[in-house]
């Protein structure tokens, strides 16, 4: 097995940019997408808080490995396993 390679981080994806990308890709209005995306993020956050494994093929399989409570929040160490080629998959166009 090869040793893990260091990763160069790209710019952080924030909620505003996520909403814009979903709106562009899905071809829907921001006012329609925003509450759905916020609800989805809340459900994902609750699942992680409950230490549930998350399996979303486009994102990968996410497991909480370790957790540490701090005065200002919680630190979770997670493992994300993505199938090869998952990053290149695209949603169908809104017209399809």
3-class DSSP state of 21 = helix
Sequence spans of domains, the chain: 13-50, 54-84
CA angle 42, 46, 52 (to 5 degrees): 135
pLDDT of the chain, 96 residues: tens digit per residue: 688 889 899 999 999 999 999 999 999 999 999 999 999 999 999 999 999 999 999 899 999 999 999 999 999 999 999 988 755 555 555 545
**Eight-class DSSP state of 50:** T
Contact 77, 67 (CB under 8 A): yes
Contact 72, 60 (CB under 8 A): no
- Quote the pTM value: 0.77
């Amino acid at each position: 097995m090869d040793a893990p390679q260091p990763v160069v981080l790209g710019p952080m994806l924030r909620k505003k940019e996520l909403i814009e990308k979903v709106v562009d890709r899905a071809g829907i209005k921001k006012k329609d997408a925003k509450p759905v995306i916020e609800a989805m993020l809340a459900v994902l956050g609750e699942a992680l808080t409950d230490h549930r494994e998350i399996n979303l093929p486009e994102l990968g399989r996410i497991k909480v490995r370790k957790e540490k409570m701090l005065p200002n929040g919680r630190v979770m160490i997670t493992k994300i396993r993505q199938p090869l080629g998952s990053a290149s998959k695209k949603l169908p166009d809104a017209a399809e």
